[in-house]
Amino acid sequence: MQPKLSFVLLLTLLGTAFTVASAQQPASQPSPSPAPDERETQEPVKVFTEEVRLPVVALDQFGHYDPTLVPDDILVLEDGKPQQIRSVRRLPASVLIVLDTGGETSGLGGMSKKTSLTKQVAAELVKGLHQGDWISLMQFNNKVEILQPWSTDRESMLKILKSKVFPGKRDVFSDAVLEAAKQIQTRPEGSRHVVFITDGIDTAGVKTDRAKAVKQLLAARTTVHIISYTEFVRQKNEKKKSDVTIGQRPVSQDPLTAIDPTLPPGTTRNPVYGVSIRFDPAMRRLRKAYEADVRKSQQSLSSMAEETGGTIFLPKTEEEMLGEADKVVRDIGSEYVITYRPTRPLALANPNEYRRVEVASRRVGLSLRSRRGYVAGPSLE
């Protein structure tokens, strides 16, 4: 009986000591449960994944940037259902400028693009964007090339435009669209922009499927701006269409004058009047094919810009080309980023699911423009 009593007494003493030690443990001892500040840092991440960031250009009745935009000014419908806006912010923009420097030496008699003009337009864009905006430069001709990774250094970009931009014979527009989608996806979502200075033509032999490339760019949730060469080259071609000229023929074109030994040195025959016909079937076919490609391209470029909430500009002269750069800068500078949590969670989206978005103004005199929708589900490609 005595050994059992000693054993029970020992257990009692050990339990009492453990209770006293626990009571004397310092209050600052870390708790095994998550601290409040840790939960607060996790919550924004969760909200961010369920948050849609929608770029919206806000203009007043005079077409100028409206600095007074608030959530109550905006109505957002996603697949026809109104959404509750959580915030309206201004964010630094990420702008990828894509220079089309291909096809200038394609033998179209000067009716193609001009690399020197493309460089000038790109320089105007770089100089006009806000100092806090991030910019990257890309060119494509025979291949796609990143001239300048993402940076805010304007001076280095202007130097690159002067020294590293060169023309090529081929055009790989579809390759450039695909690469643009990859590059812009590395930037924070919200204020993403891709600016193409191009006619949108692909040279025969380009392997990238254009429709798939455009789809990837749309899925990148970026705004696309187009400064198009399509009307520019068509205007130049109109001036070159006539192969028939009527009037005085130049003396140099009179074969008899050039070989007539009876005329004294330094004298020429009387002016010859008549009809001059220039006939080059190969060049004519080339021009017609190019004109058809340009018309088709313009429709495709317009659709891409409008779908993303951007604009296509169709200048006809060099002066208008340079002026369009200022309009692109104005649009980017007039942009807000609004956020909302969709009533149908993003986690429930199907692969490649597309959600239609409509943005309308609730305030008289306020004009809003945004993309037509976005890809909510993960891509299967």
Q: For position 105, which CATH number holds?
A: 3.40.50.410
Q: What is the pLDDT of residue 352?
A: 86
Structure tokens at 248: 């005085």
Is residue 48 one of the residues assigned to a domain? no
Full residue range of the structural domain in which residue 307 is found: 91-238+298-340
In a domain? residue 333: yes
Nearest Cα to Cα of residue 214 among 381, 376, 102: 381
Residue ranges of the chain with per-residue pLDDT less than 70: 1-49, 104-111, 236-280, 282-283, 379-381
* Phi and psi angles of residue 46, each rounded to the nearest 5 degrees, phi first: -65, -40
pLDDT of 179: 97
The pLDDT score that the predictor gives to residue 214 is 94
The three-class DSSP label of residue 155 is helix
pLDDT, residue 172, reads: 95
Residue 332 lies in a domain: yes
Secondary-structure percent of the chain, ordered helix, strand, coil, rounded to 5: 40, 25, 35
The verdict on residue 243 lying in a domain is no
User: In this predicted structure, what is the pLDDT of residue 7?
Assistant: 43
Within-domain flag for 148: yes
Q: Which residues contact 321 (CB under 8 A, 6 or more apart)?
A: 117, 120, 121, 227, 232, 315
CA-based torsion, 55, 59, 65, 71: positive or negative = negative
59 within a domain of the structure (yes/no): no
Residue 120 falls inside a structural domain:
yes
pLDDT attached to residue 2: 47
Total domains in the fold of the chain: 1
Burial-class residue 54 by CB neighbours within 10 Å (0-12, 13-18, 19+): buried
Between CA 342 and CA 77 the distance in angstroms is 10
Distance from C-alpha of 348 to C-alpha of 376, rounded to nearest angstrom = 9
Has residue 55 been placed in a domain?
Answer: no
